[in-house]
Amino acid sequence: MLTENLNKDQATILEIVRMSTEDGPGIRTTVFFKGCTLNCAWCHNPESISIKPQLQWVGSRCIGCKTCLSVCKENALTLTETGMQIDRSRCTGCGDCAVECPGTALELMGKIWQLDDLVDEVIKDRAYFETSGGGITISGGEPTMQAGFAGAFLKSLRAKGLHTALDTCGQCSRNALDQTLPYAAMVLFDMKLIDPEAHKKFTGHDNKRILDNLLYVADYIRSHVYPSGMWVRTPIIPNATADSENISGIGQFIASYLDGVVQRWELCAFNNLCQDKYQRLDQPWAFADESLLTKSFLDELTDTAKQSGVDPDIVFATGATRLETPENMQKPETQEKQETQQEVGDGVSSERI
Ligand code: SF4
Ligand code: SF4
């Protein structure tokens, strides 16, 4: 059983990203909540999975002064020739070392925000929202893990006349959806894998609850003015989600059960920009050796999506693909680490895939 934090007054927020153009319509400010109910093997924001604040060390900024070692009461830090070792079993996430670090090499990921402070922070961008038809998106991690705050935050923004979007992976309780849906102008819903076993293999859970919740959200949208619609987003991950059977299966589900509700189905191309994040967290990344997709392969999957039974006009591909040259065209997708890339689509993605 999933239980959420229903505290309405404060939440642990990972990051606030301004000027996003792919987390809903217009120019948006996206608030990334910390903590996730899934554990996707390809996760591009590994620092968002744990709800606890986590320390990271950026070696290029460290001046070797060792101030942090004397500040830490838990003796959790050791500066070695190969870099800073953080004993995460000792680190409490107090952040004292980050505050005192003169090089800003230590950063605490995750900050407690009070409701009013966060509202005041995001409405600074109001002029951009009004001129672009944008607004505020809550994402993560999984924002419904902190459903009490997420709902109160969306409600405050709605009361100020701002457009709001809830970005969810769907692995949450009905109660969490009921706390947030009434105050979301739209929903961004992830559909990663249609096969339950594959879903469990790559995310830690099968997709039963997610698909049940997806149907619940669709019915809610049909019977309410607010939210007004949904975007479905599918991360296109080599050797995981990026196959025609999966894309076709997701498309058939959308066509069969979500007709009239889904305004956009986005295929979000895999990127490998998060390797540093894993290194800073001392975590391995199973997709570290995967290349970007080729544009022709992404085009193929996009065609599959358009032919799956959905309205072809709702299908879009976003993200970077690798430039195709005569040399790399001859090599399989997974064997080449390609540095050259090109953007597909028209926006700046900050999605939690
Ligand atoms: S306080 Fe900062 S700059 Fe100094 S050793 Fe520690 S991490 Fe490096
Ligand atoms: S966050 Fe606190 S406990 Fe963790 S290393 Fe820094 S000072 Fe020590």
| pLDDT value at residue 313 | 97
Answer whether 79 contacts ligand 1 (Cβ < 6 A).
yes
| pLDDT value at residue 344 | 54
Burial class of residue 2, CB neighbours in 10 A (0-12, 13-18, 19+): middle
Domain extents in the chain: 10-48+114-344, 54-109
Q: How far is the CA of 306 from the centre of ligand 1 (A)?
A: 52
For the chain, give the percent of residues with pLDDT over 70.
Answer: 91
Residue nearest to atom 6 of ligand 2 (CA): 97
* Mean pLDDT computed over 211-216: 98
Enter the pTM of the model. 0.88
CATH code at 54-109 = 3.30.70.20
| pLDDT value at residue 144 | 97
| pLDDT value at residue 2 | 67
| pLDDT value at residue 346 | 43
Q: What is the pLDDT of residues 61-77, one digit of tens each?
A: 999 999 999 999 999 99
Answer whether 314 contacts ligand 1 (Cβ < 6 A).
no
- Nearest in space to 141 (alpha carbons), one of 67, 282, 279, 47: 47
When the pLDDT of each residue in the chain is averaged and rounded to a whole number, the result is 91
Answer whether 93 contacts ligand 2 (Cβ < 6 A).
yes
What one-character-per-residue DSSP string does 302-343 give? HHHHHTTTS-GGGEEEEEEEEPP-HHHHTS-GGG-----EEE
User: If you ran DSSP here, which 8-state letter would residue 293 be given?
Assistant: P
| pLDDT value at residue 324 | 73
Amino acid identity of residue 284, one-letter, is P
Residue nearest to atom 8 of ligand 1 (CA): 62
The label of the residue with tokens 């295929």 reads 267
Answer whether 109 contacts ligand 2 (Cβ < 6 A).
no
Domain 10-48+114-344 class? alpha beta
* Mean pLDDT computed over 217-246: 97
| pLDDT value at residue 277 | 87
Answer whether 97 contacts ligand 2 (Cβ < 6 A).
yes
